[in-house]
Amino acid sequence: MRELGMLEYLQRIVRRQFILAFRVPSEFAIPISFFIMVLALFPLGFGPVVKNSGVIWIVALLASLLSSDRIFKQDYDDGTLDQLLMSPQSLFGSSLAYIFVHWSQTGLPLALISPLVAIMFDLPGSAILPLVVSLLIGTVVLSLIGAIGAALTVGLRKGGALVSLIILPLYVPVLIFGKASVEAAIQGSFFSPPLALLTALACGAVAFAPFAIGAGLRISMEI
């Protein structure tokens, strides 16, 4: 037996979650399917042509929202979270590991599929790159914020809807900067300023959210 280093510990968490994700593909498939299905509803509700990139962003928000409460739920139910909190490894790193896995199951596929969606929605070609990049970065922030909400409510019985209520206001800046960058590209101006702001949000979130997540997990475990 040898001592466990931080990096190796994080690798463990990531490996576990990924193996589980591939063995239970429904976890993987739900956010993406939701994303596409709800997007398909918009032309039905609004008329044949929707040239609005904001719709894509809002649906991405909703997909992220709905998958957030499940970040820690499984591990809370089967006792893994107990072990996590008792380990000497810092919760900061562990939270980031969990979020990384969650993001790669929700935000990343969303961002990768968005060019297809952009074509479906008849967006100009110039919009595709900013859409993908803004979604890539923005969903990181969404996952982080969602994890804060999940950590605060994981022990509660009515967790799911509550998470949405808590974190939706916090999603607003992400939506704004994400949408703005796509719009800027469509209008032909530089899309990097909003993107830079989005990246700043992401950096801030990565630096500070894990503290809130760790604290929230500790509080939730007391239930």
Residues that bind another protein (CB under 8 A): 1-4, 8-9, 12-13, 15-16, 19-20, 23-24, 77-80, 82-89, 94, 148, 152-153, 156, 158, 162, 165-170, 172-173, 176-177, 180, 197, 201, 208, 212, 215-216, 219-223
Tell me, what DSSP letter sits at residue 127? G
Judged by beta carbon, residue 129 or residue 170, the one nearer another protein is: 170
Number of neighbouring beta carbons within 10 Å of residue 66: 19
- What is the Cβ-side half-sphere exposure of residue 60, based on CA atoms within 13 angstroms? 36
Judged by beta carbon, residue 30 or residue 36, the one nearer another protein is: 30
Q: In Å, what is the CA distance from 223 to each residue of 86, 153, 184, 218?
A: 16, 10, 47, 10
Nearest distance from C-beta of residue 36 to another protein, angstroms:
26
Nearest distance from C-beta of residue 88 to another protein, angstroms:
6
Judged by beta carbon, residue 40 or residue 172, the one nearer another protein is: 172
Residue 185 CA to residue 200 CA, distance in Å, equals: 19
Contacts of 88 (CB under 8 A, 6+ apart): none
Nearest distance from C-beta of residue 44 to another protein, angstroms:
25
Nearest distance from C-beta of residue 65 to another protein, angstroms:
13
- Residue carrying the six token digits 């009515």: 158
Judged by beta carbon, residue 90 or residue 126, the one nearer another protein is: 90
Judged by beta carbon, residue 113 or residue 215, the one nearer another protein is: 215
* Single-letter residue type at 41: L
Q: What is the dihedral of CA 25, 69, 212, 176, to 10 degrees?
A: 90
